Amino acid sequence: MKLRTFILLFFCTGLFWVKSAGAQNGTITADTIIQKVTQVMNPAQSKAKMKMTIMTTSKKTRTFVYQAYSANHGEKTLMKYLKPSRVKGQAILMLNNADDIWVYFPRTRRVRKLATHAKKQKMEGSDFSYEDMGAGNAFIDEFESRLLGEEKREGEHCFKLELKRKPKSSSGYSRLVMWVDKESFVPLVVDYYHDDDSTLLEKRLVCGDIKVIDEIPTPMQMVMFNKLDRTQTDMEFLEVTYKVNLGDDLFTQRGMKK
Contacting residues toward another protein, per CB under 8 A: 54, 56-58, 60-63, 84-86, 88, 96, 99-100, 105, 107-118, 120-122, 125, 172, 195-196, 229, 231, 248-249, 251-254, 258
Report the nearest approach of another protein to the CB of residue 82 (Å): 10
Dihedral angle over CA of 68, 73, 96, 128, nearest 10: 50
Question: Which C-beta is closer to another protein: that of 115 or that of 149?
Answer: 115
Residue type, 201: L
Instruction: Give the shortest CB-193-to-another protein separation in angstroms.
Output: 14
Q: How far apart are CA 14 and CA 8, in angstroms?
A: 9
In contact, 207 and 15? CB cutoff 8 Å: no
Task: Name the residue nearer to another protein (CB basis): 19 or 117.
Answer: 117
Q: Which is nearer to another protein, 13 or 231 (CB)?
A: 231
Complex with another protein: residue 32 or 252, whichever CB lies closer: 252
* Euclidean distance between CA atoms 49 and 213, whole angstroms: 14
Other C-beta atoms closer than 10 Å to the C-beta of 102 total 17
List the beta bridge partners of residue 177.
Answer: 162, 191
Task: Count CB atoms within 10 A of the CB of residue 238.
Answer: 13
Residue 138 · residue 1 · CB < 8 Å: yes
Nearest distance from C-beta of residue 80 to another protein, angstroms = 13
CB of 94 to another protein, least distance (A): 12
Q: Quote the least distance from Cβ 54 to another protein, whole Å.
A: 7
Of 24 and 85, which has the nearer Cβ to another protein?
A: 85
